[in-house]
Structure 1
Amino acid sequence: MAVLWIPSIRNATAFHLERWRKVCADPSLQRLPDRIETNRYGHVVMMLPPGFSHTTRQSATFAYLLTAMPSGASVEVAVLTEDGIKGIDVAWISENRVKRGLKDDVLTIAPEICVEVVSPGNTRQEMENKRQLCFAAGAEEVWFCDQKGALHLFLKGSEAMVAKASMLCPSMPKRVKV
Structure 2
Amino acid sequence: MQLTLHLPPREQQLAFNRKRWSEVLADRGLAELPYRIETNAYGQILMTPPASGGHSHRQGKITVMLDRMLGGNVHPECPISTIDGVKAADVGWYSDARLEQVKGQIAFEVAPEICVEVLSPGNSESEMRTKRQLYFDAGADEVWICGLDGTMTFYQCEHPDTPQMHSTRCAEFPTTL
Which protein is bigger by CA-based radius of gyration?
1
Residue 76 of structure 1 and its aligned partner are, at CA, apart by: 0.8
1:39 aligns with 2:40: yes
Match of 2:114 in 1: 113
Q: Is the 8 A contact 1:102 1:108 kept in 2?
A: no
Residue 105 of structure 1 and its aligned partner are, at CA, apart by: 2.2
Unaligned ranges ≥5, structure 1: 1-7
Percent identity reads 37
Q: Is the 8 A contact 2:78 2:88 kept in 1?
A: yes
Match of 1:157 in 2: 158
Match of 1:142 in 2: 143
Q: Is the 8 A contact 1:98 1:107 kept in 2?
A: no
Aligned-pair Cα RMSD in Å = 1.5
Residue 13 of structure 1 and its aligned partner are, at CA, apart by: 1.2
TM norm structure 1? 0.90
TM norm structure 2? 0.91
Instruction: Tell me, in whole angstroms, the C-alpha distance in 2 between the residues paired with 1:154 and 1:88.
Output: 15
Match of 1:4 in 2: none
**1:114 counterpart letter in structure 2:** C
**2:150 counterpart letter in structure 1:** G
Instruction: Tell me, in whole angstroms, the C-alpha distance in 1 between the residues paired with 2:97 and 2:42.
Output: 30
Q: Is the 8 A contact 2:39 2:45 kept in 1?
A: yes
1:109-156 CA-to-partner distances (Å, cap 9, x unmatched) read 010000000100001101111111111111000000001101000011
Q: Is the 8 A contact 1:74 1:91 kept in 2?
A: yes
Partner SS, residue 135 of structure 2: helix
**1:162 counterpart letter in structure 2:** P
How many matched pairs? 169
Match of 1:95 in 2: 96
Structure 1 stretches (4+) deviating beyond 3 angstroms?
none
**1:104 counterpart letter in structure 2:** Q
Instruction: Tell me, in whole angstroms, the C-alpha distance in 1 between the residues paired with 2:175 and 2:18.
Output: 36
Residue 102 of structure 1 and its aligned partner are, at CA, apart by: 3.8
Partner SS, residue 107 of structure 1: coil
Q: Is the 8 A contact 2:114 2:142 kept in 1?
A: yes
**2:163 counterpart letter in structure 1:** V
Unaligned ranges ≥5, structure 2: 1-7
**1:151 counterpart letter in structure 2:** M
Partner SS, residue 66 of structure 1: helix
**2:101 counterpart letter in structure 1:** R
Match of 2:71 in 1: 70
